[in-house]
Structure 1
Amino acid sequence: MILEVEDAHTYYGESHILEGVSIEVAEGETVALIGRNGVGKTTTLRTVLQLTPPREGSVRYRGEELVGLGTHEVAERGIGWIPEDRRVFSQLTVAENVRIAVPKGGDTEAAIARVYDTFPALAERKDAKAGALSGGQQQMLAIARGLVNENDLLLIDEPSEGLAPQIVADVGQAIADVAADDTVLLVEQNLPLAMDLADRFYLLDNGNVITEGEATSGVADDEEIRRYLSA
């Protein structure tokens, strides 16, 4: 397994958010975390990144314990994060945003070529300021920045949030293209999209894993799962 989270208990102050979460991600997989808002999905990503370290439990990446490391040390090991708020540099062009995300010593031109091949819409707007892009294009740019950072594991948080349906489809295709070459842990509220992109899923509720399984189109119609998502 590339990532193993075992019995993680994570708090915000005295609020117990993750109450013993355990998940695994194999190399090359796309795994989705699903559940209502506030059940611990984003906190699980933050726990992996050591932005919110667990008070109890283990987080292992390629067998190495991450608990106790700084977030920059976690990132240096090859774990990238695309947060929900995208965090592109609005005053820089698309090309500049991509260029500064390439690690020192990396092949910048090859990285940019990969981005434009994966995201043709960004190639068409490479000289535009990121702040002038649509929400969907900004999300593609955020994914592209994670892609060129040479990460082995990419954590993507709510990529479809606030996007129009057609743009969601475009972003979904972009993530599928990325997932063909990289390992992805995805937090996504849009259940059909999550099931379309993922190989497996974990359903979280109140800081616990309720169930897990293979991601299929039938999951979106499962009454028990839908009850947890709408409760």
Structure 2
Amino acid sequence: MLEIKEVSATYGEGTVLKRVNLKTSDNKITCLIGRNGAGKTTTLKSIMGLVNVVHGSICLDGQMITKKNTFERAQLGIGYVPQGRDIFSKLTVKENLLLGLEANHGQGTIPDYIFELFPILKDFLPRKGGDLSGGQQQQLAIARALVANPKILILDEPTEGIQPSIIQEISRVILKLKEKMTVLIVEQYLEFVLNIADYCYVMEKGQIVMDEEPNLLDKEKVARILSL
């Protein structure tokens, strides 16, 4: 599905990622975990064309996308929910969702399954995005990324600032989504990751230092890395 090979990326003159290798599998949940500043978000921004990749390649379904712009990557089937959600607070829930169709040149309608996954959004369609709680905004951000029916959904810290009941709801939705698509998640909440992941990568100082199925991970070692 998505494969990153030997990717190095920079912010300004500083190298943040160092020869990162990572791949996802169809209809599986892959998680990239690490502490703050490890390079996880930069990895996702590299996939989306938002940082400067100075070495390596990024492929989606065998097609090289390293040189494509962000919008082209979205059109090819990458749905992206950034850290902080980036919903439009002054637009209604419905208007936020409709913006997700831009990846399809504005064509189509909001799929019915969006409201099956997030029934509260149907009730809140006329409400301003800024009037939603943090958990509701996260649900809206995920729903907006799903509107264009992506091949792969990428989530950056989906549990950040979310109350436990909503985290459980988001877990349920993500597990349901892998019936339709591939999912790649950046996260540092280890318990959440272990409950949903099919495969895990652990990042430290811009490098992958461990990768394994979650039941085979050295959880004590991972916990130490996350707490450093």
In the alignment, what sits opposite 2:224? Answer: 227
Report the CA distance between 1:53 and its aligned residue: 3.2
- Compared CA separation, residues 213 and 95, structure 1 to 2 (3 A): same
Distance in structure 1 (CA, Å) of the matches to 2:129 and 2:51: 29
Instruction: Give TM-score scaled by structure 1 length.
Output: 0.92
TM-score, L = length of structure 2: 0.93
Q: Distance in 2 between matches of 1:183 and 1:69?
A: 21
Contact 1:80 1:154 in 2 (8 A): yes
Q: CA deviation at 1:172?
A: 2.1
- Corresponding residue of 1:130: 129
Q: Does 1:143 align with 2:154?
A: no
What is the aligned partner in structure 1 of residue 67 from structure 2?
A: 68
The unaligned stretches of length 5 or more in structure 1 are none
Unaligned runs of 5+ in 2: none
Structure 2 counterparts to residues 1-231 of structure 1, below 5 A: 2-102=1-101, 103-104=104-105, 106-109=107-110, 111=111, 113-216=112-215, 219=217, 222-231=219-228
AA paired with 1:189? Q
Q: Is the 8 A contact 1:140 1:174 kept in 2?
A: no
After TM superposition, give the deviation of residue 14 of structure 1 in Å: 1.6
Give distance in 1, aligned partners of 2:221 and 2:48.
31
Q: What CA deviation, in whole Å up to 9, does each residue of 1:175-227 have, x standing for no partner?
A: 222233111110011111112121100000011111111123x74x7211111
Aligned residues: 226
**CA deviation string 1:10-50 (max 9, x = no partner):** 11112111111000111111100001111111111111111
- Counterpart CA distance in 1 for 2:3 and 2:100 is 27
| Distance change (3 Å), C-alpha of 1:104 and 1:19 | closer
1:153-187 Cα deviation digits (max 9, x unpaired): 11110011111222222222222222331111100
**SS of 1:74 mapped into structure 2:** helix
Q: Distance in 2 between matches of 1:30 and 1:40?
A: 19
Q: How far apart are 1:105 and its partner, in Å?
A: 6.2
1:150 Cα deviation after fit: 1.9
Q: Kindly, what percent of the aligned residue pairs are identical? A: 38
1:28 touches 1:179 (CA, 8 Å); kept in 2? yes
Distance 1:126 1:105, change over 3 A: closer
Secondary structure of the structure 2 residue equivalent to 1:195: helix
The runs of at least 4 consecutive aligned structure 1 residues that moved more than 4 Å come to: none
